[in-house]
Chains A and B, each alone.
Chain A
């Protein structure tokens, strides 16, 4: 029998800093704080860490982190591509390394100071990489513009409306209003606020866009056998997958046969194939929400509904606590913190520990996804 990923490893520690528009500490310092907190949560000494996984656009390197926290000899390290598409893949890479004996204690992290300093799209220099020759000169400058194109087409093909996108924004905001750590904890959202908000890139308004956040998070992965002796209830990595579909071209995937079936579809096929569960068995979902339209697209991709049915799925409170599929129960990137999706992983762990601020009763299974619209990744967690 070959090595299998299924339930072979577990997340046993999570840690985070506060989330804010401007934090005084450096990204390196924030990363170290989150990692030390996660190891403390697990009850594991930093000297036992022998694996690191991060994803691109992470400015703190494992060399610096390992030295700072006092890690031991490191035998596995990886950095996954495509920014927000790589969040879940960090856990997947650690799980694979540990399940195959290449390491025993793995740490994944994200540290960002996106809430500080100038926005990247106010900087001409970063606008000029050659792949952008086909889009940027025409004023398609920001991720919101690029996803707005798909959103407009999606609305046209399937009759999705701004009310559907509002359903997503509202569910995330409602959960953030229950979560004292969320940036939008004390800021309720109404339909009127949404419908009269300023545009960012029509058809997307302010509330269709994620936050800009400073903060860091981390989690600790060990083998299932070790996990049972840790301080906390283990959250098992039941399945994991990455997805880069044939002929995919990143966020500006307009040259594909079918731009509305993105990397989620590819990741989902592999994820469910490696699982004892199906979409009908999922108690709570943490779905990457840099932009509201990513939610209906992901609901379709991961098989919670049929193609073109993702917008209608959001109706009738389906994404709220008590609904068909409670969504982003910490508030997500839209309302808790935008840290390239890492907060979705830690919130998934809290749900399965039973310690979320918006706890889904008896939650035993959770889907966590990384950025849709770029080469992506996903995790199936279970208690």
Chain B
């Protein structure tokens, strides 16, 4: 009997299988820990209250090393987007063309997060018709647990 064959299954392939997992550093780790709880939080100076991104040790405005993680509403607008086509890593090529978007946060517009616009939190990266992508479109954060890895924020249209 050939034991190398996978067992027969009716489960459709997971569109998130083999996507790259974020590799957090010390400064960034809390972002991913909050995301796993379904919270979008941004590192904020505890002395001058300026939010900053990406997370780093020291406030560029007042040089304070004291910081906390401010919870965001998860609302924002699309600042820009691209539709990548192959050649790409295989897991991404399988869904190409998909979208990658930049969202500017409502509470902190200069903080722009890279993400994906999806039809539902666990949907594929290409689950939204590219014709729906528009700079300025309002979006809100949802959370998706990558197989075997961290939870990433994704975005859905406010007016689907």
C-beta contact mask, B116-137 vs A, less than 8 Å → 1, else 0? 1000000001000010000100
- Interface stretch among B3-11, B14-22, B62-70? B14-22
Chain A CB count within 10 A is highest, among B60, B79, B82, B125, for: B82
Closest to A257 in B: B110
A146 to B88, CA, bound (A): 14
- Of B20, B81, B85, B152, which one neighbours A200 at CB under 8 angstroms? B85
C-beta contact mask, A120-148 vs B, less than 8 Å → 1, else 0? 01101001111111111111111011001
Q: Is the CB of A140 within 8 A of B80?
A: no
Question: Which residues of B sit under 8 angstroms from A199, Cβ to Cβ?
Answer: 83, 85, 97
- Interface stretch among A63-71, A248-256, A296-304? A248-256
Q: Is the CB of B152 within 8 A of A122?
A: no
Q: Is the CB of B110 within 8 A of A202?
A: no
Closest to A124 in B: B89
Question: Which residues of B sit under 8 angstroms from A148, Cβ to Cβ?
Answer: 82, 84
A129 to B54, CA, bound (A): 14
- Of A131, A153, A198, A254, which one neighbours B114 at CB under 8 angstroms? A254
Q: Is the CB of A140 within 8 A of B100?
A: yes
Closest to A246 in B: B60
27 contacts between A and B (CB under 8 A): A127-B89, A130-B24, A133-B22, A133-B28, A134-B113, A137-B152, A138-B100, A138-B115, A139-B84, A139-B88, A140-B100, A141-B89, A141-B92, A152-B81, A153-B135, A156-B80, A199-B85, A199-B97, A201-B83, A201-B84, A202-B83, A202-B84, A203-B82, A247-B60, A249-B54, A254-B79, A255-B112
Q: Is the CB of A138 within 8 A of B152?
A: yes
- Of B20, B25, B82, B111, which one neighbours A137 at CB under 8 angstroms? B20
Query: What is the interface residue range for chain A against chain B?
Result: 35 or more
Known: A130-B23, A130-B28, A199-B97. A153 touches B89 (CB 8 A): no
Q: Is the CB of B20 within 8 A of A127?
A: yes
How many CB-defined contacts (below 8 Å) exist between A and B? 120
B residues apposed to A, CB below 8 Å = 19-25, 28, 32, 53-54, 60, 79-85, 87-89, 92, 95, 97-98, 100, 102, 110-116, 125, 130, 135, 146, 152
A221 to B19, CA, bound (A): 47
Q: Is the CB of A138 within 8 A of B116?
A: yes
Min Cβ gap B96→A in Å is 8
Q: Is the CB of B89 within 8 A of A140?
A: no
Q: Is the CB of A153 within 8 A of B85?
A: no
Q: Is the CB of B146 within 8 A of A140?
A: no
Q: Is the CB of A128 within 8 A of B20?
A: yes
Min Cβ gap A134→B in Å is 5
A residues apposed to B, CB below 8 Å = 119, 121-122, 124, 127-142, 144-145, 148-150, 152-153, 156, 198-204, 247, 249, 252, 254-257, 259
Min Cβ gap B43→A in Å is 12
Question: Which residues of B sit under 8 angstroms from A259, Cβ to Cβ?
Answer: 112
A255 to B135, CA, bound (A): 17
Q: Is the CB of B146 within 8 A of A141?
A: no
Question: Which residues of A sit under 8 angstroms from B85, Cβ to Cβ?
Answer: 198-202
A127 to B141, CA, bound (A): 25
Question: Which residues of A sit under 8 angstroms from B111, Cβ to Cβ?
Answer: 255
Question: Which residues of A sit under 8 angstroms from B23, Cβ to Cβ?
Answer: 128-130, 132-133
Known: A124-B20, A136-B20, A252-B114. A149 touches B80 (CB 8 A): yes
Chain A CB count within 10 A is highest, among B60, B81, B98, B111, for: B81
Q: Is the CB of B115 within 8 A of A149?
A: no
Q: Is the CB of A137 within 8 A of B22?
A: yes
Min Cβ gap A147→B in Å is 9
A254 to B89, CA, bound (A): 23
Of all A-B residue pairs in the complex, the 8 with the closest CB atoms, nearest first, are A133-B22, A202-B83, A148-B82, A153-B80, A130-B25, A254-B112, A199-B85, A152-B80
Min Cβ gap B81→A in Å is 6
Min Cβ gap B94→A in Å is 11
Min Cβ gap A155→B in Å is 9
Q: Is the CB of A145 within 8 A of B115?
A: no
Given contacts A127-B89, A130-B23, 13 further A-B contacts (CB under 8 A): A121-B89, A128-B20, A130-B24, A133-B22, A134-B54, A136-B22, A141-B84, A141-B88, A145-B84, A148-B84, A149-B100, A156-B135, A201-B83
Chain B CB count within 10 A is highest, among A139, A149, A200, for: A139
